[in-house]
Amino acid sequence: MCGIAGILTPSIDLRNEKPLIESISKTLKMRGPDAKGEYITPNTALIHRRLSVIDVENGAQPMRFGKYIIVYNGEIYNTAEVRDELISFGYKFDSHCDTEVVLKAYDKWKEESVKKLNGIFAYAVYDEKENSLFLARDRIGVKPCFYSKKNDLFAFASRISSLLCIPQIKHVVNEEGLNEIFMLGPAKTIGKAIFKDISELAPAHYLTYKNGKINLSQYWRLEAKENTETVEEAVEHTYSLVKDSIERQLVSDVPLATFLSGGLDSSIISKVASDYYKKDNNVLNTYSVDYTDNDKYFKKSLFQPNKDSDYIGLISDAIGSVHNNVVLDNSDVAYALKEAAIARCVPGFADVDSSLLLFCKEVKKNFTVCLSGECADEIFGGYPWYHRKEILFEECFPWSRSTVSRRNILKPDFLKNGEDYMRDAYNQTISLTSYLDSDSPLEKRMREMFILNLNWFMQTLLARKDVMSMESSLEVRVPFCDYRLVEYAYNMPWEIKALDGREKGILRKAFENDLPYDIAWRKKSPYPKTHNPVYFDCVCKLVQQALDDKSCPLSDMLNVSAVKNLMKNPDSMTEPWYGQLMQTPQVLAYIYQIYVWIKNYNVEFEL
């Protein structure tokens, strides 16, 4: 994986802007600590930072072929097939890296080339003769890409902070951005980047930039298609697709491990990976995360019915992995909130971010690539809101069913149109759903839920995974995001997907013979959080520091007495802020991260 950035402008000689280019490159260093490269002409700059994973000796970027120069971030999992097709057209290759394949695919098929790729990516191809740029992002949105156009300047980057280095791009957030933070956060609308001057290139989109004009195109979308498979056929199909996706993502020229929580998804990935490694007499390393004294303070809930620690040893022993359990200090998790917020460049995901950041740093000490089980819940119906009918048909985001908790911490009359903003975001997402005329009301709603989860909950988790892992210079791959699997799951009838009335029933059935029974049929439990009061005490101190800072405009937005009440009475918050992942400790941590973000990025507000 890597970090990329670029600037096109006719009014600045970029050869004289080396301090600016160097500052942008530095913001990308953790994404690519192994090497850096630049392509600079009077009006164009392309910047690359490399984390070497495939063909470590070759694959330096920016890479040139004819009139095209590419900067690329990602991994292509069907590289061999695309390379073979290009060879049949007479192309020759000097490396086995996927960058060269992507570049020559563009030379052959231009914009249509992106449809040939199965992988996770964001890349730019500059045409020297036409002075134009092609910028593309993978179908699911695993790899980030942001851009900005200010007058005659166009810029793009893997990180928002890279763009904020450019003087023309202002650190301004308007009411829309504040609604994203307080009404929808930590989620955000696809295409938005909180800052007024910056946009996100949406998943499954590419843009072309030429003569000062941006043209956006969507090259892939989910379409409703009839599925007439029997249960037996669906079990076999699910098994083969998942296994193929995992095995394709095990290709690496550097050490690789898997995250293993003891849950269904990570256990499937680790089992397939372990079997793959055993073919060459290798042993898989697996990693899990926990917190000091967490067993002592753990409390069961609807969303977290059991502890991971009860299951990890069972699956590790079954697959024969060398398991590593990373135990995080609770105060470290709190103090890492600052680094996590700065890395995100927007308000973050509280300790769900900071703990992953610390975890990835530990894994990076021995490994450069990991596989993780995110996104199976979104596409196979793993969350409780898929299965509780009192929630399922409510016309709202099921993980944020009201704004009561959000409103309670805000000053009265602040963001008066917040509820309308939230409702519009929901309705806009629902409008993207593709149906069949034969769909029952339940099937229609399940398609809507799929789109809601894909475009919101899943995007939040993917952004978290990319930023926190790459901030640790660790590449994390997510096999359940293979677009073939997503397409297949979207059109699977609900009664098959929820086989035996269970969340992810078809996935459980497909792999029940490969896993211990207690793993295959374990009730879903989310990413582990700390339950230790040490963490909560630390967060409260950090929030108090933020409230005491009168130079920060955050206090002008908050109902300070309500925030302090949460600190004194954490059980007073009656409904989750964001699904199963954000209760009172996380909401307070989120407030602190907003403070850190404002101070670090010198955010100005336009209301």
What's 208's DSSP letter? Answer: E
- pLDDT in the model for residue 168: 97
Distance (Å, whole) CA 258 – CA 284 = 8
Amino acid 1: pLDDT: 65
Closest to 469 measured CA to CA, from 356, 367, 354, 344: 356
Residue ranges for the chain with pLDDT beneath 50: 302
Looking at residue 295, its pLDDT comes to 77
Asked if residue 142 lies in contact with residue 13, where contact means CB atoms within 8 angstroms, the answer is: no
pLDDT value, residue 582: 87
What is the DSSP code string of 143-167? S--EEEEETTEEEEESSHHHHTTST
pLDDT at 300: 58
- Count CA atoms within 13 Å of residue 583 on its CB side: 14
Q: Looking at residue 251, what is its pLDDT?
A: 86
CA-CA distances (angstroms) from residue 129 to 40, 68, 91? 15, 9, 21
Tokens 């930590």 belong to: 186
* Per-residue pLDDT at 53: 74
The DSSP result for 38-63, as a single string, is EEEETTEEEEEEE---SSTTS--SSE
pLDDT tens readout for residues 70-91: 999 999 999 999 999 999 999 9
Rounded Cα distance, 461 and 478, in Å: 11
Question: In which order are the strands placed within the sheet that holds 475-477?
Answer: 322-328, 285-291, 256-259, 369-371, 475-477
The proportion of the chain whose per-residue pLDDT surpasses 90, expressed as a percent, equals 88
Catalytic residues: 2
Residue spans of alpha helices (H) in 345-481: 350-364, 376-380, 389-392, 404-408, 418-430, 441-452, 458-470
Q: What's residue 411's pLDDT?
A: 96
